Chains A and B, each alone.
Chain A
């Protein structure tokens, strides 16, 4: 950690210390520490139930934490520290803290009663007070950026899973977030649609976006992540650059998990090959 901070310098964008969270007396997070620096891509790996999704949801306060602190860009999330005493923030203040954090969900959660364009322009207009015409213009640009320039008037039900997830990414980007959280963004997709979503995420990472990604896509983690964090049983077991954690894991639990993942991938043979196919097939990005 210290060497990392020394090399990168500057304040971490996300600074989580000793984060605890329980659901009905079951402790899901048992003291998570994590620093994410601006421009970094951190991939959270781990078996289901290891707490990685819960931790992600704690960062933008979809879950309230029971212990520890999370700072995003210097703001203490969910509380105000008045002379050593924490005061819970109200609904409006918490909403304001969430504005700068984009989130992409496993099940997309697009607004089904709004078109792709309306999904993307809704929050800038309603939350930031951006003029409607400007928000629409920006939404069209973002849809083009995720390769959906031809779908502004489509309702989510008329789009494939991969297209829906790309609209969801554009929707999050419309708020100009400092940080993007991805909660298993490709887990609900058919294998052949995974690649198009990962490509958008790769472009985003290449553009310097700070990202925390919960995923099982090893290829993405290996290629894109600056830091891989392996979680199990509510604690961080191992973390470091991908060539250490994925290719050369020190802990037995990490090794067991990775070999299980490799078996599954070999059996399904999906992610890598499908992604490669999609990349080969996709024409150059119009935004480039």
Chain B
């Protein structure tokens, strides 16, 4: 070892005020980005073909707003509610001890994941109405066939659905997108459930919780931490997939169809497309904010930073209950 001379001083080293490492690359990058941005802005302002005033008028045009609220937003919400609900059920089935449930779950995921959403919507929009123009639900399975076989002239239909009447509606769109989404959500839910430590289930069972209660109270809330981020992804993808509703089902109450119609009518194609783009950007931005708060909620107890409000609540509870416990403990 070399002998370093210790400076001959009685002072012990104090706080460090060192110069930070220089990052010239960062300044260069910032300069380039600023220049490129300036060029983009200048072209946006100077090129009249962008026609932002027209774009803005398209964005707030009544049928466009309607299409946005109905086809795009309501469609996304409906399809995701169906997809998440059904997906969690199918995901849990996949992990069941019952081989029949496991098989059904596998077959469902295989089928709906293999079909492109556009093809599925086309099938539902035209194919279903062709095969089953009316969908009759009997009082019990095979009731009509049995009645015919036994020679009764009875109508055993409990209620029936006119498939053609709904084949181009949002209901069919939500059904198609939701069924497809459930296949993906099932896999996400399965991954989330499997990410929860086996010891959690054992601890819950040792306390006498049934399997269902263990799943609902202990496993799923923890699985949510893993489930939420990819579900946010899926939701954002779903917003964009609602643009398939016109192509698949000829549903016209939908954002992209409405803006395109204005485009073809006025021959200002590009500004109308930009109007649709702007709306998709806005909706997805709002969703990202929602995802942030959801992730924070389900991350509680896992070392993710609690909000200031949460921290205050915890503090208050500690003080209040600490005092209460002290009181009872002293009895």
Interface residues of A (CB under 8 A from B): 60, 62, 91-92, 95-96, 98-99, 101-103, 105, 107, 109-115, 117, 122-123, 126-127, 137, 140-141, 143-145, 149-157, 168, 171-172, 175, 286-287
Residues of chain B within 8 A (CB-CB) of A113 are 221-222, 225, 298, 300-302
Known contacts: A105-B203, A113-B300, A113-B301. The answer to whether A149 contacts B325 by CB under 8 A is yes
Known contacts: A114-B301, A144-B328, A153-B321. The answer to whether A105 contacts B199 by CB under 8 A is yes
Residues of chain B within 8 A (CB-CB) of A98 are 205-208
* Given A92-B210, A112-B222, 4 other A-B residues pairs in contact with their CB atoms under 8 A: A109-B202, A115-B317, A155-B300, A175-B207
Number of A-B pairs whose CB atoms are under 8 Å? 117
Counting CB contacts under 8 A, is B318 at the interface? yes
CB contacts under 8 Å to A, within B177-236, are 197, 199-200, 202-211, 213, 217-218, 221-222, 225
State the CA gap A159–B192 with chains docked (Å): 25
- A selection of 22 A-B contacts at a CB cut-off of 8 Å is A60-B206, A62-B202, A62-B205, A91-B210, A99-B207, A99-B208, A105-B199, A105-B206, A113-B222, A115-B301, A115-B314, A123-B204, A123-B207, A126-B217, A140-B325, A144-B325, A145-B329, A150-B322, A152-B318, A153-B321, A154-B314, A175-B207
Residues of chain B within 8 A (CB-CB) of A91 are 210-211
Counting CB contacts under 8 A, is B151 at the interface? no
Residues of chain B within 8 A (CB-CB) of A150 are 318, 322, 325
Distance of B267 from chain A, by nearest CB (Å): 57
A140, A154, A172: which has the most chain B beta carbons within 10 Å? A140
State the CA gap A141–B324 with chains docked (Å): 9
In the complex, which of the residues A149, A157, A172, A175 contacts B329, with contact meaning CB atoms closer than 8 Å? A149
State the CA gap A52–B221 with chains docked (Å): 33
Counting CB contacts under 8 A, is B53 at the interface? no
Quick one: closest B residue to A286, CB to CB? B329
- B210 adjacent to A152 (CB under 8 Å): no
Known contacts: A111-B218, A153-B314, A286-B330. The answer to whether A140 contacts B321 by CB under 8 A is yes
Residues of chain B within 8 A (CB-CB) of A141 are 325, 328-329
Known contacts: A91-B211, A127-B208, A286-B330. The answer to whether A157 contacts B302 by CB under 8 A is yes
Known contacts: A123-B207, A140-B324. The answer to whether A109 contacts B200 by CB under 8 A is yes
State the CA gap A168–B202 with chains docked (Å): 13
State the CA gap A154–B306 with chains docked (Å): 12
Say which size band chain B's interface belongs to: 35 or more
Counting CB contacts under 8 A, is B14 at the interface? no
Interface residues of B (CB under 8 A from A): 197, 199-200, 202-211, 213, 217-218, 221-222, 225, 298, 300-303, 314-315, 317-318, 321-322, 324-326, 328-330
Known contacts: A95-B210, A140-B321, A149-B322. The answer to whether A156 contacts B301 by CB under 8 A is yes
State the CA gap A140–B202 with chains docked (Å): 24
Residues of chain A within 8 A (CB-CB) of B203 are 103, 105, 109-111, 168
Residues of chain B within 8 A (CB-CB) of A126 are 209, 213, 217
- A96 adjacent to B221 (CB under 8 Å): no
Residues of chain A within 8 A (CB-CB) of B197 are 109
- B317 adjacent to A152 (CB under 8 Å): yes
State the CA gap A143–B322 with chains docked (Å): 10
Distance of A90 from chain B, by nearest CB (Å): 10
State the CA gap A226–B246 with chains docked (Å): 78
Known contacts: A150-B318, A152-B317, A153-B314. The answer to whether A107 contacts B199 by CB under 8 A is yes
Quick one: closest A residue to B303, CB to CB? A157
In the complex, which of the residues B206, B221, B317, B329 contacts A144, with contact meaning CB atoms closer than 8 Å? B329
Residues of chain B within 8 A (CB-CB) of A175 are 207-208
Residues of chain A within 8 A (CB-CB) of B206 are 60, 62, 98, 101-103, 105, 172
Quick one: closest A residue to B214, CB to CB? A95
- B301 adjacent to A117 (CB under 8 Å): no
Residues of chain A within 8 A (CB-CB) of B329 are 141, 144-145, 149, 286-287
A60, A107, A113, A137: which has the most chain B beta carbons within 10 Å? A113
Residues of chain A within 8 A (CB-CB) of B315 are 153
Known contacts: A140-B321, A150-B318. The answer to whether A122 contacts B301 by CB under 8 A is no
